[in-house]
Chain A
């Protein structure tokens, strides 16, 4: 299978602070990978480095077959890799529908269109012409996921997508993530909610101190859940 994203021994920095240390990971077409770890281990910095928001030192990033020497936020989307960012980052001065249309900025054709997103999240159609930031937290997360799907991506990076959401919304999102993955879109799920990880991911990478320290198959059982939770215990 093609590697959609390959990160090879990267080091990343915020100013002088050295956050990622020789971190490597790979996500292949159709895979469902979870990147787990405690707060502050550098999970979001991985995303920020891919987007050029954290300074890349040594190491190599490849989007499909292209080496990305100078990451920029738009390059990932242009290589069919989109991010659902932590905190959702809905554009405040755009309506719900405009936020969705913005997600199709690359113009890549595929199954996901505004009507398809509305079928997936009917509430977004009801609120189509209200400002995106007027939605509830759960609805904003649906909008962020819908916006990412509008790019018809090969890989979606989901950065803590269930943070602060009610369990019922988390259940809905887990179903949606599985449905999206079933249609062939690869997922890199960055999460601390291990019950979501066992429901969605097939493989995990555990981080500590800016590096991947463990990896394996996700065991969808009570013992598997306990094993994963051990990686995020303080």
Chain B
């Protein structure tokens, strides 16, 4: 029982990594707390569902994030760029409004009923893990999450554009003064962040049913992760996602009645201990 719950916690943690990477990147560069990120995840899942219905899951795995990346670029140009110097309340209201618009759009196009996406045949089998049978697909989810975490870390650490992103997340004006077009850079990063939300949506679709309320469940946990990790910190978000996934998994076994509260208890405890989160700076 504990093994399978820990395994599921690991799966959920890696899904949160994919989801929160985008949230952390967007906040890091644009200083926009994007309440619509969960609905972008949902939209990615639904687009993936439709693409899979007409082609197959593997095509959806690439097409849905690509479509979401394009949406992200438009969102940055006509939304986040205009919001970046506004007061936080305006940002919250606009991104919350966007959340409602996307939810309504999803209901209009795909309806209110729950939908499900079949597990791809290539991963539709069980694997023995320490004497417990676990679905191979979920191992695939862990691989995707690990690849995203590793890929993003290496890109930020060693690539030229990764350097620009790290610099611009600290001082966009000085970075721009070196010749970096930070508006174009931000559009690219918001596109990437939105694509990752879409990727998380497609990846989660075969084991979480699709519904217009699916964004609410994951966005709350995502914000807990981003706050615990330290706003804008990718490394902090990775650690926090895994901690949250495990806390939920263990809580489901030993404190089933209080498991819903555990993420918030964890957040309060960590913020008392480290007010800026695991890796944030207190500014």
The answer to whether B178 touches A89, judged by C-beta atoms less than 8 angstroms apart, is no
Q: In whole Å, how far is A25's beta carbon from the nearest beta carbon of chain B?
A: 19
Interface residue from A74, A82, A98 paired with B180 (Cβ < 8 Å): A74
The answer to whether A91 touches B171, judged by C-beta atoms less than 8 angstroms apart, is yes
Interface residues of B in 126-182 (CB under 8 A from A): 160, 163-164, 166-167, 169-171, 173-182
The answer to whether A102 touches B175, judged by C-beta atoms less than 8 angstroms apart, is yes
A206 at the interface (CB under 8 A from B): no
Provided the pairs A91-B167, A102-B163 are in contact, do residues A85 and B174 lie with their beta carbons within 8 angstroms? Answer: yes
Interface residue from A93, A94, A98, A105 paired with B179 (Cβ < 8 Å): A105
In chain B, what residue has the closest Cβ to A72?
Answer: B176
Find chain B residues with CB under 8 A from A76 CB: 177
Provided the pairs A94-B166, A102-B164 are in contact, do residues A74 and B174 lie with their beta carbons within 8 angstroms? Answer: no
Interface residue from B163, B167, B171, B182 paired with A74 (Cβ < 8 Å): B182
A77 at the interface (CB under 8 A from B): yes
The answer to whether B163 touches A98, judged by C-beta atoms less than 8 angstroms apart, is yes
A contact face: mostly helix, strand, loop, or mixed:
mixed
Q: In whole Å, how far is A100's beta carbon from the nearest beta carbon of chain B?
A: 10
A138 at the interface (CB under 8 A from B): no
The answer to whether B173 touches A53, judged by C-beta atoms less than 8 angstroms apart, is yes
A73 at the interface (CB under 8 A from B): yes
Interface residues of B in 180-198 (CB under 8 A from A): 180-183
In chain A, what residue has the closest Cβ to B183?
Answer: A72
Interface residues of A in 68-112 (CB under 8 A from B): 72-74, 76-78, 82-83, 85, 89, 91-94, 98, 101-103, 105-106
In chain A, what residue has the closest Cβ to B178?
Answer: A105
In chain A, what residue has the closest Cβ to B181?
Answer: A74
Find chain A residues with CB under 8 A from B179 CB: 74, 77-78, 82, 105-106, 151
The answer to whether B177 touches A73, judged by C-beta atoms less than 8 angstroms apart, is yes
Find chain A residues with CB under 8 A from B160 CB: 101
In chain B, what residue has the closest Cβ to A106?
Answer: B179
The interface size of chain A toward B, counting residues with CB under 8 Å, comes to 24
Q: In whole Å, how far is B101's beta carbon from the nearest beta carbon of chain A?
A: 31
The answer to whether A101 touches B163, judged by C-beta atoms less than 8 angstroms apart, is yes
Interface residue from B173, B176, B178 paired with A103 (Cβ < 8 Å): B178
Q: In whole Å, how far is B28's beta carbon from the nearest beta carbon of chain A?
A: 10
Find chain B residues with CB under 8 A from A73 CB: 173, 176-177, 182
The answer to whether A105 touches B164, judged by C-beta atoms less than 8 angstroms apart, is yes
Q: In whole Å, how far is A127's beta carbon from the nearest beta carbon of chain B?
A: 18
Q: In whole Å, how far is A154's beta carbon from the nearest beta carbon of chain B?
A: 13
The answer to whether A91 touches B175, judged by C-beta atoms less than 8 angstroms apart, is yes
Find chain A residues with CB under 8 A from B178 CB: 74, 77, 82, 102-103, 105-106, 147, 151
Find chain A residues with CB under 8 A from B166 CB: 93-94, 98
Q: In whole Å, how far is A150's beta carbon from the nearest beta carbon of chain B?
A: 8
A-B contact pairs, 10 of them (CB 8 A): A73-B177, A74-B180, A76-B177, A78-B179, A94-B163, A94-B166, A98-B166, A102-B178, A102-B180, A105-B178
Known: A89-B173, A92-B171, A101-B160. 20 other contacts (CB 8 A): A73-B173, A73-B177, A74-B177, A74-B180, A74-B182, A77-B179, A82-B177, A82-B178, A82-B179, A91-B167, A91-B170, A91-B174, A91-B175, A93-B170, A94-B163, A94-B166, A101-B163, A102-B175, A105-B180, A106-B179
Shortest beta-carbon contacts, A-B, top 8:
A77-B179, A73-B176, A106-B179, A89-B174, A105-B178, A105-B179, A74-B176, A73-B177
